[in-house]
Amino acid sequence: MFVGFDYGSANCAIGVIENGEVRLVPLSADSKYLSSTLYAMDRELIAEAVLKQLPQAEQAEYARMRAAQLSRGAAARRELDLLPNEQAVFVGEQAIEAYLDMPDEGFYVRSPKSFLGASGLHDSQIALFEDIVTLMMMHIKKQAEKSLANGASVITHAVIGRPVNFQGIGGEQSNIQAETILSLAAKRAGFTEVDFLFEPLAAGMDYEASLQEDVTVLVVDVGGGTTDCSMVKMGPSHIDNRDRSQDFLGHSGQRIGGNDLDIALSMASFMPHLGLGSLMTNKLPVPSKPFWNAVAVNDISAQRDFSALASKKLIEDLIKDAQSPDLIKRLLKVQKEQLGYKLVRSAEQSKIALSDHNSVDTPLDYIDNGLHAKVSEADFENAITMPLSKVEALMREALEQSGVMPDRIYVTGGTARSPAIYKRISGLFPEIPIVVGDHFGSVTAGLTRWAQRVFA
**Maximum CA pair distance of the chain?**
71
Q: What is the mean pLDDT of residues 247-251?
A: 87
For the segment 22-49, the average pLDDT, to the nearest whole number, is: 92
What residue spans of 104-257 are helical by DSSP H? 123-147, 171-189, 199-208
Q: What is the mean pLDDT of residues 90-97?
A: 90
What pLDDT is recorded for position 429?
87
Share of the chain above pLDDT 70, in %: 97
Greater pLDDT, 59 or 252: 59
For residue 11, the surrounding DSSP H or E stretch is strand 11-18
- Which residue from 178, 182, 159 is spatially nearest to 242, judged by alpha carbons? 159
pLDDT tens digits for range 146-200: 988 766 689 999 999 988 788 655 578 888 999 999 999 999 999 999 999 888 8
pLDDT score at 237: 93
Closest by CA position to 145, among listed 2, 36, 48, 49:
2
pLDDT surpasses 90 at 417: no
pLDDT at 150: 65
- Answer yes or no: is pLDDT of 456 > 90: no
Q: Is residue 100 exposed (0-12), middle (13-18) or buried (19+ Cβ within 10 Å)?
A: middle
**Mean pLDDT in the chain?**
90
Q: What are phi and psi of 285, to 5 degrees?
A: -70, 150
Q: Which residues of 322-351 are buried (b: 16+ CB within 10 A; e: fewer)?
A: beeeebbbbbbebbeebbbbbbbbbbbebb
* Residue 152 pLDDT: 63
Cα four-point dihedral sign 272, 276, 277, 282: positive
**pLDDT given for residue 301 in this prediction:** 78
Question: Among 28-42, 247-261, 265-279, 346-360, which is the least confidently predicted range?
Answer: 247-261
pLDDT single digits (tens) 372-395: 999 999 999 999 999 889 989 999
Q: Is the pLDDT of residue 414 over 80?
A: no
Instruction: Inform me whether the pLDDT recorded for 299 exceeds 80.
Output: no
So what's the pLDDT on residue 166? 82
Residue-wise pLDDT tens digits, 192-232? 999 998 888 888 887 888 899 999 999 988 877 778 888 99
Average pLDDT over residues 417-424: 78
Amino acid type, 53:
Q
pLDDT band at residue 115 under the 50/70/90 scheme: confident
